[in-house]
Amino acid sequence: MRIVDVVTTVVGAPWRELTFVELVAAVRDAVGPDVEIMIEMHGRFSAAAAAEIAAELEPFAPAWLEEPVPLDSPTGLARVRSATRRPIATGERLHLLSDFRAIIGEGVVDIVQADLTHFGGFTGLRRLAGWAEAYELPLAPHNVCGPVGTAANIHFAVATPNHLILEHFNDFADNWVSELVDAAPAIDPLDGCFPAPTEPGLGLRLDHDACAEHPRTHAGIFLFDDGWERRGEPSTAPAPAELDETPSPLPP
Protein backbone atom coordinates (compact mmCIF):
# COMPACT_ATOMS: atom_id res chain seq x y z
CA MET A 1 0.00 0.00 0.00
CA ARG A 2 2.81 2.36 -0.91
CA ILE A 3 1.65 5.98 -1.07
CA VAL A 4 4.84 7.93 -0.47
CA ASP A 5 6.97 9.57 -3.17
CA VAL A 6 4.15 9.98 -5.65
CA VAL A 7 2.90 13.07 -7.47
CA THR A 8 -0.22 13.09 -9.66
CA THR A 9 -0.22 15.74 -12.38
CA VAL A 10 -3.37 16.63 -14.30
CA VAL A 11 -2.90 17.14 -18.02
CA GLY A 12 -5.79 18.90 -19.71
CA ALA A 13 -6.55 21.46 -17.02
CA PRO A 14 -6.89 25.00 -18.41
CA TRP A 15 -3.35 26.16 -17.61
CA ARG A 16 -2.70 29.58 -19.12
CA GLU A 17 1.03 30.02 -18.51
CA LEU A 18 2.48 26.58 -19.21
CA THR A 19 2.04 23.93 -21.86
CA PHE A 20 1.52 20.42 -20.56
CA VAL A 21 5.11 19.48 -21.44
CA GLU A 22 6.50 22.48 -19.59
CA LEU A 23 4.27 21.69 -16.61
CA VAL A 24 5.42 18.09 -16.29
CA ALA A 25 9.04 19.13 -16.94
CA ALA A 26 8.80 21.64 -14.09
CA VAL A 27 7.39 18.99 -11.75
CA ARG A 28 10.15 16.52 -12.67
CA ASP A 29 12.79 19.20 -12.17
CA ALA A 30 11.35 20.08 -8.75
CA VAL A 31 11.00 16.55 -7.37
CA GLY A 32 14.02 14.91 -8.97
CA PRO A 33 14.35 11.47 -10.55
CA ASP A 34 13.34 9.36 -7.54
CA VAL A 35 9.73 10.53 -7.14
CA GLU A 36 7.09 8.83 -9.28
CA ILE A 37 4.87 11.11 -11.34
CA MET A 38 1.46 9.84 -12.48
CA ILE A 39 -0.22 11.67 -15.37
CA GLU A 40 -4.01 12.00 -14.96
CA MET A 41 -5.66 12.61 -18.32
CA HIS A 42 -9.33 12.07 -17.34
CA GLY A 43 -10.25 10.49 -20.68
CA ARG A 44 -10.41 13.94 -22.23
CA PHE A 45 -8.32 13.43 -25.37
CA SER A 46 -8.77 12.00 -28.83
CA ALA A 47 -6.56 9.04 -29.68
CA ALA A 48 -4.36 11.21 -31.91
CA ALA A 49 -3.86 13.89 -29.26
CA ALA A 50 -3.28 11.36 -26.47
CA ALA A 51 -0.70 9.48 -28.53
CA GLU A 52 1.17 12.71 -29.22
CA ILE A 53 1.08 13.69 -25.54
CA ALA A 54 2.30 10.24 -24.50
CA ALA A 55 5.28 10.45 -26.83
CA GLU A 56 6.20 13.97 -25.72
CA LEU A 57 6.02 13.09 -22.02
CA GLU A 58 8.13 9.95 -22.28
CA PRO A 59 11.46 11.73 -21.48
CA PHE A 60 10.07 12.58 -18.02
CA ALA A 61 9.46 8.90 -17.21
CA PRO A 62 5.92 9.10 -15.81
CA ALA A 63 4.95 6.06 -13.72
CA TRP A 64 1.78 5.82 -15.76
CA LEU A 65 -0.58 7.65 -18.11
CA GLU A 66 -4.09 7.45 -16.68
CA GLU A 67 -7.22 7.35 -18.85
CA PRO A 68 -5.61 8.92 -21.92
CA VAL A 69 -8.76 8.43 -24.02
CA PRO A 70 -12.49 8.03 -23.29
CA LEU A 71 -13.43 4.77 -21.57
CA ASP A 72 -15.40 3.49 -24.58
CA SER A 73 -12.44 3.66 -26.98
CA PRO A 74 -10.31 0.48 -26.82
CA THR A 75 -8.99 1.14 -30.32
CA GLY A 76 -7.91 4.61 -29.20
CA LEU A 77 -6.22 3.07 -26.18
CA ALA A 78 -4.35 0.72 -28.49
CA ARG A 79 -3.06 3.69 -30.48
CA VAL A 80 -1.74 5.34 -27.30
CA ARG A 81 -0.25 2.01 -26.14
CA SER A 82 1.75 1.79 -29.37
CA ALA A 83 2.98 5.41 -29.04
CA THR A 84 4.85 5.04 -25.73
CA ARG A 85 6.84 2.65 -23.57
CA ARG A 86 5.29 4.09 -20.39
CA PRO A 87 2.52 2.12 -18.61
CA ILE A 88 -1.12 2.83 -19.39
CA ALA A 89 -3.54 2.85 -16.42
CA THR A 90 -7.31 2.81 -16.79
CA GLY A 91 -10.54 1.26 -15.55
CA GLU A 92 -11.91 3.51 -12.81
CA ARG A 93 -15.12 4.06 -14.78
CA LEU A 94 -15.63 0.43 -15.77
CA HIS A 95 -18.17 -1.37 -13.61
CA LEU A 96 -18.47 -4.92 -15.01
CA LEU A 97 -15.98 -7.74 -15.46
CA SER A 98 -16.92 -7.93 -19.13
CA ASP A 99 -16.00 -4.25 -19.55
CA PHE A 100 -12.34 -5.25 -19.15
CA ARG A 101 -12.45 -8.05 -21.73
CA ALA A 102 -11.30 -5.96 -24.68
CA ILE A 103 -8.58 -3.95 -22.98
CA ILE A 104 -7.03 -6.86 -21.04
CA GLY A 105 -7.35 -9.33 -23.88
CA GLU A 106 -5.84 -6.92 -26.41
CA GLY A 107 -2.97 -5.95 -24.08
CA VAL A 108 -3.68 -2.22 -24.06
CA VAL A 109 -3.77 -1.73 -20.27
CA ASP A 110 -0.81 -2.14 -17.90
CA ILE A 111 -2.37 -1.09 -14.58
CA VAL A 112 -6.00 -1.87 -13.67
CA GLN A 113 -7.82 0.87 -11.77
CA ALA A 114 -11.31 -0.42 -11.00
CA ASP A 115 -13.09 1.09 -7.99
CA LEU A 116 -14.04 -1.37 -5.21
CA THR A 117 -17.23 0.56 -4.39
CA HIS A 118 -18.35 0.55 -8.05
CA PHE A 119 -17.25 -2.95 -9.03
CA GLY A 120 -19.29 -5.24 -6.81
CA GLY A 121 -17.31 -4.76 -3.62
CA PHE A 122 -14.81 -7.35 -2.43
CA THR A 123 -16.25 -10.16 -4.51
CA GLY A 124 -16.26 -8.26 -7.80
CA LEU A 125 -12.81 -6.76 -7.39
CA ARG A 126 -11.28 -10.07 -6.23
CA ARG A 127 -12.57 -11.70 -9.42
CA LEU A 128 -11.00 -8.93 -11.49
CA ALA A 129 -7.73 -9.14 -9.52
CA GLY A 130 -7.47 -12.87 -10.26
CA TRP A 131 -8.07 -12.27 -13.96
CA ALA A 132 -5.51 -9.45 -14.02
CA GLU A 133 -2.96 -11.61 -12.19
CA ALA A 134 -3.22 -14.23 -14.94
CA TYR A 135 -2.02 -11.53 -17.33
CA GLU A 136 0.65 -10.29 -14.86
CA LEU A 137 -1.18 -6.99 -14.41
CA PRO A 138 -1.19 -5.07 -11.11
CA LEU A 139 -4.17 -3.28 -9.56
CA ALA A 140 -4.10 0.34 -8.42
CA PRO A 141 -7.74 0.78 -7.33
CA HIS A 142 -9.49 4.09 -7.81
CA ASN A 143 -10.51 5.38 -4.38
CA VAL A 144 -12.05 8.78 -3.67
CA CYS A 145 -14.12 7.41 -0.80
CA GLY A 146 -14.37 8.51 2.78
CA PRO A 147 -12.92 6.49 5.67
CA VAL A 148 -15.25 3.49 5.25
CA GLY A 149 -14.37 2.93 1.60
CA THR A 150 -10.68 3.50 2.33
CA ALA A 151 -10.77 0.96 5.18
CA ALA A 152 -12.35 -1.59 2.82
CA ASN A 153 -9.65 -0.90 0.23
CA ILE A 154 -6.90 -1.44 2.80
CA HIS A 155 -8.31 -4.87 3.65
CA PHE A 156 -8.48 -5.66 -0.07
CA ALA A 157 -4.86 -4.57 -0.56
CA VAL A 158 -3.59 -6.79 2.26
CA ALA A 159 -5.33 -9.81 0.72
CA THR A 160 -4.39 -9.21 -2.95
CA PRO A 161 -0.94 -10.26 -4.21
CA ASN A 162 -0.99 -8.06 -7.32
CA HIS A 163 -2.10 -4.88 -5.53
CA LEU A 164 0.27 -2.05 -6.49
CA ILE A 165 -0.87 1.16 -4.82
CA LEU A 166 -4.04 2.74 -3.44
CA GLU A 167 -5.40 6.12 -4.46
CA HIS A 168 -6.12 8.18 -1.36
CA PHE A 169 -7.92 11.52 -1.03
CA ASN A 170 -8.81 11.55 2.67
CA ASP A 171 -5.98 13.94 3.52
CA PHE A 172 -7.54 16.49 1.17
CA ALA A 173 -11.11 16.10 2.40
CA ASP A 174 -12.93 18.43 4.81
CA ASN A 175 -11.93 17.88 8.43
CA TRP A 176 -15.34 16.51 9.38
CA VAL A 177 -14.96 13.52 7.05
CA SER A 178 -12.59 11.76 9.44
CA GLU A 179 -15.07 12.37 12.26
CA LEU A 180 -17.73 10.20 10.60
CA VAL A 181 -16.10 7.11 12.14
CA ASP A 182 -14.42 6.28 15.42
CA ALA A 183 -11.00 5.53 13.90
CA ALA A 184 -10.41 6.81 10.38
CA PRO A 185 -7.55 5.15 8.45
CA ALA A 186 -4.43 7.29 8.53
CA ILE A 187 -1.16 7.07 6.63
CA ASP A 188 2.02 6.66 8.66
CA PRO A 189 3.99 9.84 7.85
CA LEU A 190 7.29 7.97 8.26
CA ASP A 191 6.79 5.54 5.40
CA GLY A 192 3.70 6.75 3.55
CA CYS A 193 1.76 3.54 4.14
CA PHE A 194 -1.46 2.60 5.84
CA PRO A 195 -0.89 0.15 8.72
CA ALA A 196 -2.46 -3.26 8.29
CA PRO A 197 -5.85 -3.37 10.07
CA THR A 198 -6.14 -5.48 13.23
CA GLU A 199 -9.69 -4.78 14.49
CA PRO A 200 -12.71 -6.98 13.61
CA GLY A 201 -14.70 -6.26 10.47
CA LEU A 202 -13.54 -3.18 8.62
CA GLY A 203 -11.97 -1.94 11.84
CA LEU A 204 -14.16 1.12 12.40
CA ARG A 205 -17.66 2.15 13.47
CA LEU A 206 -19.87 4.84 11.97
CA ASP A 207 -20.83 7.81 14.12
CA HIS A 208 -24.44 8.14 12.98
CA ASP A 209 -24.92 11.51 14.69
CA ALA A 210 -21.91 12.95 12.87
CA CYS A 211 -23.20 11.52 9.57
CA ALA A 212 -26.61 13.14 10.14
CA GLU A 213 -24.93 16.55 10.43
CA HIS A 214 -23.63 16.25 6.86
CA PRO A 215 -26.45 15.05 4.58
CA ARG A 216 -25.87 14.32 0.93
CA THR A 217 -25.45 17.48 -1.18
CA HIS A 218 -25.32 16.01 -4.71
CA ALA A 219 -22.10 17.98 -5.27
CA GLY A 220 -19.86 16.86 -8.09
CA ILE A 221 -16.86 17.65 -10.27
CA PHE A 222 -17.72 18.77 -13.80
CA LEU A 223 -14.56 18.28 -15.80
CA PHE A 224 -15.54 20.39 -18.78
CA ASP A 225 -16.48 23.51 -16.80
CA ASP A 226 -14.01 26.36 -16.43
CA GLY A 227 -12.42 26.31 -13.00
CA TRP A 228 -13.29 22.67 -12.20
CA GLU A 229 -9.77 22.12 -10.86
CA ARG A 230 -10.08 24.82 -8.17
CA ARG A 231 -11.24 22.94 -5.09
CA GLY A 232 -13.63 24.67 -2.73
CA GLU A 233 -15.08 27.11 -5.25
CA PRO A 234 -18.67 26.90 -6.51
CA SER A 235 -19.13 25.06 -9.79
CA THR A 236 -20.69 26.86 -12.76
CA ALA A 237 -22.57 23.69 -13.69
CA PRO A 238 -26.35 23.70 -13.29
CA ALA A 239 -27.65 22.06 -10.15
CA PRO A 240 -28.88 18.48 -10.64
CA ALA A 241 -32.61 18.05 -11.00
CA GLU A 242 -34.43 17.08 -7.84
CA LEU A 243 -35.43 13.42 -7.70
CA ASP A 244 -39.16 12.92 -7.30
CA GLU A 245 -39.47 10.12 -4.74
CA THR A 246 -43.28 10.22 -4.54
CA PRO A 247 -44.48 6.60 -4.85
CA SER A 248 -46.49 5.74 -7.93
CA PRO A 249 -50.19 5.04 -7.30
CA LEU A 250 -51.12 1.39 -7.09
CA PRO A 251 -53.20 0.02 -9.99
CA PRO A 252 -56.91 -0.47 -9.27
Domain for residue 231, yes or no?
no
At residue 192, the pLDDT reads: 84
Q: How many structural domains comprise the chain?
A: 1
At residue 3, the pLDDT reads: 38
Residue 26's domain is classified under what CATH number? Answer: 3.20.20.120
Helix (H) or strand (E) holding 130: helix 121-134
Per-residue pLDDT tens digits for 138-156: 999 999 888 999 999 999 9
Domain for residue 48, yes or no?
yes
Domain for residue 117, yes or no?
yes
At residue 8, the pLDDT reads: 57
Q: Is the model more confident about 243 or about 76?
A: 76
Domain for residue 199, yes or no?
yes
Q: Which domain holds residue 88?
A: 6-212
Backbone angles phi, psi at 155, to 5 degrees: -60, -45
> Is there a catalytic annotation at residue 155?
no
Residues above pLDDT 70, as percent of the chain:
81
Q: List the beta bridge partners of residue 111.
A: 89
Q: List the beta bridge partners of residue 90.
A: 112
Domain for residue 247, yes or no?
no
Please tell me which residue in 118, 142, 163, 218 is annotated as part of the active site.
Answer: 142
> Is there a catalytic annotation at residue 42?
yes
Residues above pLDDT 90, as percent of the chain:
60
Domain for residue 137, yes or no?
yes
